[in-house]
């Protein structure tokens, strides 16, 4: 004959073991009631303060009796059977550090704080800190006066004006002075090769004065050689300086 297997036999044995553990703790309730005997006359004016003091005393006394004091909280004091509640919390559990809940890394915010600087006694006797405080007070008063009564006649520096409006004041400011081609001077070697005297003009000037050879029928007014020499001499003379108005900024 086959034996009938009882349903949930495994769970029934586990529950019996739990009940035996709980009954052991129930026997300790009589001891716990002795700890809860608190004096009626507690120092405190308000009812709230008295209740808070009672809860604190109960909380510290429960920690001595409870099997898992780490899991005990202030809210568990109001429970009817706090010891049983604490055992159920601790059954089949392992304590986990609290910093695992936080998103920040462990010991991230802790930094070494340097101690504040302390003046030596010799400098304290001079009382230099009082002079600094007086100077700061004067600076603060000046700033307040400037805000209340601003000076509208403040002048701008000439250097700042020139740097801003330099393009308009200076003629050909953007024009590049550097040129690829410049008017050259006749060297002495070339003069000796052409057989020129020191004040004699080069030969190509005389050819330019005469009319073109191929077009003989056209009448062209040409200047005499004497007029040409006078023009060259005038060009060598220094030009008179023109009077220019001074611009005052």
The pLDDT, as a whole number, for residue 234 is 57
pLDDT average, residue stretch 3-13: 46
Find all residues with CB under 8 Å of 64, minimum gap 6, and list them: 35
Rounded CA-CA distance 171/183 in Å is 23
Pick the closest to residue 32 from 76, 2, 94, 70 (CA basis): 76
Q: State whether residue 47 is helix, strand or coil.
A: helix
Rounded CA-CA distance 87/17 in Å is 13
Rounded CA-CA distance 182/176 in Å is 13
CB 82, CB 67: distance < 8 Å: no
Rounded CA-CA distance 163/169 in Å is 10
- 31-35, 105-109, 131-135, 161-165: least confidently modelled range: 31-35
Q: Would you place residue 187 in the very low, low, confident or very high pLDDT band (cuts 50, 70, 90)?
A: confident
Highest mean pLDDT: which of 28-37, 60-69, 117-126? 60-69
């Amino acid at each position: 004959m086959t034996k009938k297997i009882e349903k949930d036999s495994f769970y029934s044995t586990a529950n019996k073991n739990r009940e035996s553990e709980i009954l052991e703790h129930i026997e300790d309730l009589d001891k716990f009631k002795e700890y809860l005997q608190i004096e009626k006359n507690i120092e405190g004016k308000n009812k709230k303060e008295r209740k808070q003091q009672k809860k604190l005393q109960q909380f510290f006394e429960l920690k001595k009796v409870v099997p898992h004091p780490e899991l005990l909280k202030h809210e568990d004091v109001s429970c009817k059977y706090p010891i049983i509640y604490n055992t159920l919390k601790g059954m089949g559990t392992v304590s986990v550090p609290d910093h695992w809940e936080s998103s920040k890394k462990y010991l991230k915010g802790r930094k070494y704080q340097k101690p504040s600087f302390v003046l030596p006694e010799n400098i304290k006797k001079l009382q230099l800190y009082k002079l600094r405080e007086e100077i700061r007070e004067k600076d603060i008063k000046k700033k307040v006066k400037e805000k209340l009564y601003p000076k509208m006649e403040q002048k701008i520096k000439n250097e700042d004006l020139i740097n801003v409006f330099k393009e308009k004041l200076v003629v050909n400011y953007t024009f590049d002075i550097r040129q690829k081609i410049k008017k050259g001077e006749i060297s002495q070697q070339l003069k000796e090769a052409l057989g020129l005297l020191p004040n004699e003009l080069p030969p190509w000037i005389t050819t330019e004065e005469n009319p073109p050879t191929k077009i003989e029928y056209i009448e062209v007014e040409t200047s005499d050689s004497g007029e040409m020499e006078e023009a060259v001499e005038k060009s060598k003379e220094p030009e008179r300086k023109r009077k220019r108005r001074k611009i005052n900024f």
